[in-house]
Structure 1
Amino acid sequence: MDEGAAVHRDHQLAEAVRLREDGRREEARERLLALSEQFPLDAEVAYQTAWVHDTLGLEAEAVPHYVRAVEVPGLTPDDRRGALLGLGSTYRVLGRFPEAVTTLGDAVTEFPDDAALKTFLAMALYNTGRAHDAMEILLTLLATTSQDPDILGYRPAIEHYAKDLDATL
């Protein structure tokens, strides 16, 4: 991309994001769709386009943009994490539970310290009938991240039961 096209893209993308943040989502969507046509291999444009569709409740329309965002290089690690979370969560909302589990499971492997990814993975696992796996993730997350003194007092027991809720001490 030449310098002039890059400046145009950056300006248009920043404006579209500002519109979304200001609550002018439909206007942002129109601009992002136009940018997506101009820059079909731009991961950041794809991510922002997916995001605006999600904010409008247009989850099915968001999916191809999320897929493109995570399949082509160009996102910062934080944006990649957000795109994977958005894609996995969107799959779950659409009832595409196996795809949600796969996407979120891969994302947790890539970003193992991300509690939000683990939480959404647990929800998707629950939706596929894997309640035990979901509870293991959530209990482990609770035990390792809570600052609540009552939780901290029971941390060893919670961690034990996270491995197997049917176990006894």
Structure 2
Amino acid sequence: MVDTERDTALAQAVRLREESKRDEAREKLLALAERYPDDAEIAYQTAWVHDTLGLEAEAARFYERALSTDGLSAEDRLGVFLGLGSTYRVLGRYQEALKTFKQGLEEYPGDKGLRTFQSMALYNVGDAREAVSKLLKLVVEGQVVPEYGRAISYYADNLDEIV
């Protein structure tokens, strides 16, 4: 059953986020998440906007909700694994990050984004050898992750930062 009111409101909130009107997007998405608590797509978009605002602790619960509910496209589900794992990592929840990346790689074997962020979490738990090994394999394979370039560049200089 199509819910045009939901679809229109969600599209508007996503557009606001994409236009860097993140606070407005957050307000709309929080209202949608309250109205549609079992909607994985709304949960994912709500998590994403919290992440863009640097509200990682709030983002985590929406990522978790998105993974626990059906209804995501394969692309969005991959985005949830990346977002949740990365969020756990910056919150210092390294084991949860590694578990999330492992689960994501079981569903999306070889994904370069998951592999890159997994390497960062491995570094954070003191497994520098495995982290570097995984990154070197990505280099040899010619794998680059331009869509996460800004985040990866930031974390390259701030691997130990916890928010």
Q: How does 1:1-169 map to 2 (within 5 A)?
A: 2-3=1-2, 6-145=3-142
Amino acid at match of 1:125: L
Aligned pair in 2 of structure 1 residues 131, 39: CA closer, same or farther (>3 Å)?
same
CA distance in 2: counterparts of 1:34 and 1:21, whole angstroms = 18
Query: Could you tell me the percent identity over the aligned residues?
Result: 56
Query: Taking CA–CA contacts closer than 8 Å with sequence separation of 6 or more, which of the two structures ends up with the larger relative contact order?
Result: 2
CA distance in 1: counterparts of 2:89 and 2:70, whole angstroms = 24
| Residue-by-residue CA offset, 1:107-131 (whole Å, 9 max, x unaligned) | 1121113101100000001100111
Report the count of equivalent residues.
144
Equivalent residue, structure 1, for 2:157 = none
Q: What is the TM-score when the length of structure 1 is the normalising length?
A: 0.82
CA distance in 1: counterparts of 2:25 and 2:141, whole angstroms = 39
| Residue-by-residue CA offset, 1:12-59 (whole Å, 9 max, x unaligned) | 000000000111100000000000011000000000000000000000
CA RMSD of aligned residues (A): 1.3
CA distance in 1: counterparts of 2:78 and 2:133, whole angstroms = 22
Gaps of 5+ in 2: 145-163
Equivalent residue, structure 1, for 2:155 = none
| Residue-by-residue CA offset, 1:65-101 (whole Å, 9 max, x unaligned) | 0001111111101100001100000000011111111
Deviation at 1:146, TM superposition (A): 5.3
CA distance in 1: counterparts of 2:34 and 2:27, whole angstroms = 11
Amino acid at match of 2:141: T
Secondary structure of the residue that 1:129 maps to in structure 2?
coil
| Residue-by-residue CA offset, 1:131-169 (whole Å, 9 max, x unaligned) | 12112211111111259xxxxxxxxxxxxxxxxxxxxxx
Gaps of 5+ in 1: 148-169
Q: What is the TM-score when the length of structure 2 is the normalising length?
A: 0.85
Native 8 Å contact 2:40 2:71 kept in 1: yes
Secondary structure of the residue that 1:57 maps to in structure 2?
coil
